[in-house]
Amino acid sequence: MGDPAARARFLELDPYRVNREVNRYEGTPQRDLFRELRVRFLERHSALSGWVVDLGSGPGRFARSIGNPGARRVLLDLSQEMLLEARRRFARDPQEESRCHLIRGDAAHPPFRPGSFQEVVLFGNVVGFSESTAIAVLEGSLELLAPNGLILLETVAGPGERSRYLTRLPTGAVRRLLQAPINLVRPRLEREGFRPEGDAVKRSGFRRFPPHEVVVLLRAHGVEPIEVMAVAPSLGGDPERVAAVRLEPRSWRHLLELEEMVGRSEARHARAAALLVAGRRTAPAAAGRKAGRAPDTSVK
């Protein structure tokens, strides 16, 4: 994270702010929805072998969903407090701890050889928070990909949106409606359309990425997008109705499936408050890369 102001903020994280980050996807049905959609996305696109790395890993919330269950994982973060929290989490599972390397470092200058990883993850919008160096962070992460390797990243495109149809129904009616197959629900959503949320991203320097810009950049570096998904454009902005749906397991399962189906529609991408992108390296790595070797984990 080469931007000096952004770098300083993350270097100086204290235990209070780390705890806030730990709880960002915990404690409410809406947070459960956001977390589960990300976990499902990671699990759909898991490298089957080799080393995997989570850049800007924070407390390691998604580490277990990166790569296959036996993968050798590397967590890289600027914050010592974040990595200490990740270590506490892994200490509960000695086998998991033995497969995970925690490294303090900068995603803008990762201390690894090019082409070292079968999977590179940038969740938590590491790219956007890198501000003026966002492009450099993304390009640097792409250099880490081995041939046929996967990159999974999260960006912000717009203010977010929600379904006009679902959010005009009473909460109980939404829960009952989502017990039906999602193919019966989606056409009505599309007919009534979606309304944008308020513009929540006001911070100076925060870097948004229009979807087409992400796709163009990936392809310029030999990476072909294989899935692009807006996170929860149907009900994600409505915590009351999400909470009602959470009470019924069948409705909850259908909501997850509906959000994924709707979120993959290109029409939902430009306004997405969170956009998940999966890509695979299809072009050869640049000349001189030492692709496929294990990462240098000597920096602690």
If one counts the domains in the chain, the total is 1
Residue 293 lies in a domain: no
Both tokens of 233, joined, read 């454009």
Nearest to 173 by CA among 188, 160, 194, 193: 188
pLDDT value, residue 233: 97
Both tokens of 115, joined, read 């082409």
Instruction: State percent of the chain over pLDDT 90.
Output: 59
pLDDT value, residue 1: 54
Residue 297 lies in a domain: no
Residues of the chain with pLDDT under 70: 1-23, 94-98, 199-205, 284-300
Both tokens of 36, joined, read 């589960």
What CATH number is associated with residue 81? 3.40.50.150
Q: Would the pTM of this model clear 0.85, i.e. be above it? A: yes
In terms of residue numbers, what domain contains 268?
4-281
Nearest to 162 by CA among 228, 237, 230, 231: 237
pLDDT tens digit sequence for 207-230: 888 999 999 999 999 999 999 999
Residue 164 lies in a domain: yes
pLDDT value, residue 182: 93
Residue 184 lies in a domain: yes
Residue 183 lies in a domain: yes
Instruction: Please provide the distance, in angstroms rounded to a whole number, between the alpha carbons at the two ends of the chain.
Output: 17
